[in-house]
Chain A
Amino acid sequence: MKDEYDVLVVGAGPGGSIAAKTAAEHGLDVLLIEKRAEIGNPVRCAEGVGKESIKPFIESDPSWISAEVKGARIYSPDGTAIEMSEDIAGPEVGYVLERKIFDRALALQAARAGAEVMVKTRATGLIIENGFVRGIRGEHFGDDFTVRANIVIGADGVESKVGRWAGINTTLKLSDIETCAEFLMADIDFDQDYCDFYVGNEIAPGGYAWIFPKGKHEANVGVGVLGSRVGSTKAIHFLKKFVDKSCSDGHILEIIVGGVPVSGPLERTITNGLMLVGDAARMTDPITGGGIVNAMITGQIAGEVAAKAISKGDTSTKVLSEYETRWKSAIEDSLDKSLHAKEVLTKMPDEQLNMLAHSIKDVNFGELTATSLLTEITRRNPKMLWELRHLL
């Protein structure tokens, strides 16, 4: 570790690794730190992702692809299935990843682009001088250190501290986080071609349960429940109940827990000398909970804007505001739509969810996105979804 870098990235998830890679590719001196001993482990993810959407960030490699899927199916409380696949007879459109390997591959890309990568290295505070973030305080293998940087990128995930240290309030309300539990299960019998989602107030209040195929008759089986809707029954209990009903003869090989921000993006994602990306900036889709791709999109933009700011010698919000303009034009619209839909759908009783499902069960979806699903249910249920009419 040197005393000073152009850019210091906190957190080696998909957002941080892409930010570090991008900045390094622009010739910057970059340090990427990860507090865990092992990048990518433990996993906190169901690992589903659109094939096309990750193409810009990494060349596909079988080592981090667990399975390929043709589409998604959503089951309403009464069991009505909505099938979403671009072309049922066509090629696979989605991957279920092996995040342990995927996250490492992304960090390796950053390292090969010239970034210095350090594990077991935790940021514990920021150096702030004259209103500018100028580096971090940290701890590596039990030893404290300080390191200076012209720009800090906070990619520290759902538990993000970097934003808070800089005075940005990133606290999630209970109604803005999904609390999740998941098993990796073996020897269960299900359709390996689809990612399946199950909605309903009994199965997962304010969230959903999922079965995502991992190949070899294995699957990620999980449940996410809205924080404001859990009582003494925890996500893990909802999961056990779901497993008992859906795949009780499977074997549990791994347990995964985690929180997914569903607040919609932070209002402020920059300060002087600082940008927040990915989950740290709450970039996950509030309906699907998917955040891998948005972390990479925002990480890349942050890396590019960092390069510009450093070449200009100005890391103030005046220059960094380009980061906000660009991420907004890339993903704000779809995040906004999902957020509005979340506010309405997470409050719906099962009968209404069933009615929505019946109204679209025979639709052919051209596009496998939350937005296309939301547009269709809004169009077909104008009265019930009056509050969502602007989605059309």
Chain B
Amino acid sequence: MIVINRHKCGHCGACVGVCPENAIDLVDAWVEVSDKCIECGICVKVCPVGALEIQHEG
């Protein structure tokens, strides 16, 4: 699961631009991830502030 730290996020949309599954939306001042997410981690890499993280369940 991709977890977004809303306190860190600068809502710039870079993660949206790189998502190969079109699973991320920059709605207003927040980012939403849909269940299309395949946890590839590309968004985690591009984030300028490190607001995204893959959290493995269990």
Contact = CB atoms under 8 A, between A and B. Distances in A.
The answer to whether A binds B is yes
Interface of A: 35-37, 42, 44, 122, 157-161, 164, 170-174, 177, 179-181, 227, 230, 232, 234-236, 255-259, 261
B47 interface: yes
Contact of A259 (B12, B25, B50): B12
Interface string B36-58: 00000010011111100000000
Nearest to A237: B50
Contacts of A158: 12-14, 16-17
Nearest to A164: B22
Nearest to B25: A161
B49 A230 contact: no
Given A159-B26, A164-B22, A259 B49 contact: no
B14 A42 contact: no
Nearest to A238: B48
Contacts of A227: 18, 45-46
Contacts of B16: 158-159, 161
Contacts of B49: 181, 234-236, 257
Contacts of A235: 48-49
Given A157-B13, A172-B17, A259-B13, A234 B48 contact: yes
A135 B27 CA distance: 20
Interface of B: 10-14, 16-20, 22, 25-28, 42, 45-50
Contacts of B46: 174, 177, 179, 227, 230, 259
Contacts of B48: 179-181, 234-236, 257-259
Contacts of A37: 28
B18 A174 contact: yes
Contacts, number: 85
A261 to B, nearest CB: 7
Contacts of B17: 158-160, 170-172, 177, 259, 261
Contact of B14 (A171, A255, A256, A258): A258
A39 B20 CA distance: 28
Contacts of A122: 27-28
B11 A179 contact: no
Q: What 10 A-B pairs have minimum CB-CB distances, sorted nearest first?
A: A259-B14, A159-B13, A159-B16, A257-B10, A235-B48, A257-B48, A258-B12, A257-B12, A234-B50, A158-B17
B37 to A, nearest CB: 14
Nearest to A228: B45
Contacts of A181: 48-49
B47 A171 contact: no
B18 A236 contact: no
26 contacts: A35-B28, A158-B16, A159-B13, A159-B14, A161-B16, A161-B25, A171-B18, A171-B20, A171-B22, A174-B42, A179-B14, A179-B48, A181-B49, A232-B50, A235-B48, A236-B49, A236-B50, A255-B10, A257-B12, A257-B48, A258-B13, A258-B14, A258-B48, A259-B12, A259-B18, A259-B46
Contacts of A261: 17
Given A161-B22, A171-B20, 12 more contacts: A44-B12, A157-B13, A158-B14, A177-B46, A179-B14, A181-B48, A230-B45, A230-B46, A236-B48, A257-B49, A259-B17, A259-B48
